[in-house]
Structure 1
């Protein structure tokens, strides 16, 4: 583990029994409050980019926090993927299962273009539902998903394996717990 990764792990707080009994929530707010820790997280995510990237996609809401600065550092555009009803105009939607329910994500129908090199950034990979739905939205627009990078992977939930079965096989995590 490099010094950035150590700092990141030290700044992620466990919150037991939230949002429901038996769940240990990984709280990134202490990491975000620490300028050096936040910078370390962005630096590590940027380092995972496989060559030139046209667009960085981040999902609502915590994915936005990391994806936008990564896009700036990579000289790429940023495209938000949001919950339904949050984007004006024509959108494409994809529903999926979460660890504790169901959700739908939306992207502007004209956000990407044929062959655009897209990198997805999110804070956590849990079961893979959010990233899988986002990958499907990217694919439907004809863009190329070249890499997915997450700050933290909850390896015990099997998200990486589910994504691989769905055809998302280029994924990196800054830290895995």
Structure 2
């Protein structure tokens, strides 16, 4: 993939998101407006722009990679994290729901609006001092990102930044991630 001009790719990626993300009212339940990103994924130019803009969160001002791994959070985060890792020349590490990883894991539980969830990371996935970019589709309450950050830190690695397609400004996601730098291509 040819890398778009770093000075324009975030703005162009944001424009593509605004044009292609579809609001689906009352999904998955009444009162919720679901942000469907599948039209972005189906458009190879838009998807490429989004991947490069997210990957920029793992680069310094000269364009050099500053992370060792990209962590993708289940499930839509996997779709984005894999090409971001490739664009950076970094490793991909999945964070999965409980019981989905086959070897020894670290586990982190966190509160949801309607209960609790648990995420897991292979204990040998990251090394001490590894720099990690966390990638997901949406930052909402911040629970998934905060739990993933704790998993990364338990493994001895360092959370470098978070990169998401969009953040929901009416929810406390930014507060939940604390001082971790956030790249969001679109704020809703």
TM-score bucket (shorter structure): over 0.9
Structure 1 residue 49, shift from structure 2 partner: 1.9
Q: Confirm or deny that 1:66 pairs with 2:80.
A: yes
In the alignment, which of 30, 36, 40 is matched to residue 21 of structure 1?
30
User: What do residues 6-51 of structure 1 show as CA deviations (whole Å, max 9, x unaligned)?
Assistant: 1111111101111111111111111111111111110110122243
User: What do residues 61-99 of structure 1 show as CA deviations (whole Å, max 9, x unaligned)?
Assistant: 100001111111111000000011111110111111234
Preserved contact between residue 8 and residue 40 of structure 1 (Cα < 8 Å) = no
Matched pairs, number: 174
**Separation (CA, whole Å) in 2 of partners of 1:41 and 1:101:** 32
* Structure 2 counterpart SS, 1:156: coil
* Structure 1 counterpart SS, 2:16: helix
Aligned runs of 1:25-104 on 2, under 5 Å? 25-51=34-60, 52-104=66-118
In the alignment, which of 123, 130, 139 is matched to residue 137 of structure 2?
123
Structure 1 residue 100, shift from structure 2 partner: 4.3
Q: Confirm or deny that 1:141 pairs with 2:155.
A: yes
- Structure 1 residue runs of 4 or more that deviate by more than 4 Å after TM superposition: none
| Structure 1 residue ranges without an equivalent (≥5) | none
**Separation (CA, whole Å) in 2 of partners of 1:30 and 1:100:** 29
| Structure 2 residue ranges without an equivalent (≥5) | 1-9, 61-65
**Cross-structure match for 1:173:** 184
**Separation (CA, whole Å) in 2 of partners of 1:119 and 1:25:** 25
Taking only aligned residues, the RMSD between alpha carbons, in angstroms, comes to 1.3
**Separation (CA, whole Å) in 1 of partners of 2:13 and 2:181:** 22
Task: With the length of structure 1 as denominator, give the TM-score of the two structures.
Answer: 0.93
